[in-house]
Amino acid sequence: MELINRKEFDRRVTSGELDTLQAIEVSEGICLVAGKAGSDESFMLQRTDKKPYLWKNELGPSIYAKTRGCTRLVVFYREKLSVNTILSGGLIRV
């Protein structure tokens, strides 16, 4: 998984290039991950200081998805994992 800045993440999500959006709750907070269906490539939203962007609750990622035209946001709860574990693993497949 690759960390990408908000501008690039927004562009890819709004254009439909990334069509799978997941909010994953980890021990540090909730991170936002996007990927393309049928591909192993995935991206995590990063802050300006190059660290993963984390929210305190599900409302932030939900608002983000709505304002970017996403009709579906999947939320996973992995509180026992760290954001670094998610970064090394990619999208969660169900």
> pLDDT tens, 31-68?
999 998 888 889 999 998 999 999 999 899 999 999 98
Average pLDDT, the chain: 89
For 33-69, the DSSP string reads EEE-TT---EEEEB-TTSSBP-BSSTHHHHHHHHHTT
| Nearest CA-CA partner of 3 in 54, 38, 39 | 54
Predicted confidence at residue 5, as pLDDT, reads 95
- pLDDT score of 84 more than 70: yes
pLDDT per position as a tens digit, 9-25: 999 999 989 988 999 99
Q: Is residue 94 assigned to a domain?
A: no
Provide the domain count of the chain.
1
List Cβ neighbours of 26 (8 Å cut-off, separation of 6 or more): 78, 79, 81, 82, 83, 85, 86
Residue that has been written with the tokens 């990622």 in this structure: 61
Domain with 64, as residue range(s), is 2-89
Quick count: other Cβ atoms within 10 Å of Cβ 53?
A: 21
Q: Is residue 65 assigned to a domain?
A: yes
- Give the pair of three-digit tokens for residue 61: 């990622």
Q: Is residue 11 assigned to a domain?
A: yes
Cβ(53)–Cβ(45) below 8 Å: yes
